Amino acid sequence: MTAQPSAPADRMTELVEVIQKLSQARDLPTVQDIVRHAARRLTDADGATFVLCEGDHCHFVDEEAVGPLWKGQRFLMANCVSGWAMTNRRPVVIEDVFADPRVPHDTYRPTFVKSLVVVPIRTIEPIGAIGTYWATRHRATDDEVRLIQALADTTAVALENVRVITELEDRVRARTAELESSNRQLVAANCELMAAQQQADRVFAAYAKVLPGSVLDGKYRLDEELGSGGFGVVFRGRHLGLDCPIAVKVFRPVAGNDSGLDLQRFLREGATAARISHPNAVRVLDSGVSSGGVAFLAMELLRGRSLGRERAAVGALPLRAPPPSPGPLPTCWPRPTARASFTATSSRTTCSCTTTGAGKS
């Protein structure tokens, strides 16, 4: 049933409200709902349709009417009044649908429609149309046509907003999917790295177990494991040429320190340590790579107890200050460097306290 006619001022007020609603629409269904309802109320029509241009067809996407019209159907532009309005880029006003040759009579005959107004959505390259229909013969006024055209112009802006928002949301979703995929790849790579690390640890642990009894470079015999760290395993050994006890540190080639550069750094550290001579510094006697490919450092063997045993005997070291040096600091180092070196090294189980009470790192 047709709504009661509204005063022009009321219609303009309602149009402003509709424009505000369309400006806030974020998707096509919302735009459709606002437009089909507003088109009827602004013109006191018995029905309204929301039509989109799809190639050479008109798609009746939505409708609001006293009886069924063509919702969901598609018609060729050339055989449709909405298509005529879009093709000619101007409104169509028809008082008697069965007296106008532009109207496909067979399509309209099953409906209640006697009169209509169809306006294009966007006059430059129209993207759709809004149709309003009356169940009795009605000659639409100029004001009614202007109202519907204003609604169509606002709808064009709303549809463009929806297009932009949809594109942005699609980009965000695509970017999110890329980031999630990259994150999954990083997690998988990290798991593989951890698995490789664990496998390398197992392999090296097994290798370290068979090293006792072997001889490096024909002169350093490995007898038993004393301790291990991130870069190697220390063995009690013997210098066969001099027939004296020594400590031998074997390089641990695991993920993260298995490159040639890391090996060179290991050997460089040994060469640097060999130049230091001090009662509180362990003497490095030799370094190299055996014929079997084992990188090693041959060092002075300390007789004493590990840091772990020392802490068990005297208690935990203070957290806020470095522990006191057990003896004179090496004069070859600046004092802050020497104390930092002692503090850092003393956190490892390979640090020893000699039987004389002096610590060596």
Is residue 120 domain-resident? yes
> Do 248 and 308 lie in a common domain?
yes
> Do 128 and 269 lie in a common domain?
no
Q: Which residues are annotated binding-site positions for ATP?
A: 249
Predicted pLDDT at 62: 93
d(CA 67, CA 188): 60
Domain final residue pick, 167, 199, 227: 167
Predicted pLDDT at 341: 39
What's the one-letter identity of residue 1? M
d(CA 306, CA 85): 94
Backbone φ, ψ for residue 351 (5° rounding): -70, 140
Is residue 185 domain-resident? no
Share of the chain above pLDDT 70, in %: 78
**237, β-bridge pairs:** 222, 246
Residue 42 burial (CB count, 10 A): 23
Predicted pLDDT at 306: 66
> Do 130 and 235 lie in a common domain?
no
pLDDT digits (tens, 9 = 90+) for 24-34: 888 899 999 99
pLDDT at 131 over 50: yes
pLDDT band at 195 (very low <50, low <70, confident <90, very high): confident
Q: Which residues are annotated binding-site positions?
A: 249
> Do 232 and 147 lie in a common domain?
no
> Do 259 and 163 lie in a common domain?
no
CATH number of the domain to which 288 belongs: 3.30.200.20
pLDDT digits (tens, 9 = 90+) for 80-118: 999 999 999 999 999 999 999 999 999 999 999 999 999
Q: Count of domains in the chain?
A: 2
CATH number of the domain to which 73 belongs: 3.30.450.40
pLDDT at 5 over 50: no
The better pLDDT of the pair 339, 309 is held by 309
pLDDT digits (tens, 9 = 90+) for 277-309: 777 778 888 888 887 778 888 888 887 666 677
Predicted pLDDT at 295: 83
d(CA 343, CA 323): 7
Q: Which domain holds residue 41?
A: 8-167
What's the one-letter identity of residue 169? E
> Do 157 and 27 lie in a common domain?
yes
Q: What mean pLDDT do residues 168-186 have?
A: 92
Tell me if 103 sits within 8 A of 97, measured CB to CB.
yes
> Do 13 and 154 lie in a common domain?
yes
> Do 155 and 269 lie in a common domain?
no
Model confidence, pTM: 0.53
List the one residue out of 336, 339, 309, 315 whose CA is nearest residue 326: 339
> Do 144 and 290 lie in a common domain?
no
> Do 142 and 249 lie in a common domain?
no
> Do 25 and 138 lie in a common domain?
yes
Q: Which among 10-14, 21-25, 54-58, 200-204 has the top mean pLDDT? A: 54-58
Is residue 179 domain-resident? no
> Do 243 and 325 lie in a common domain?
yes
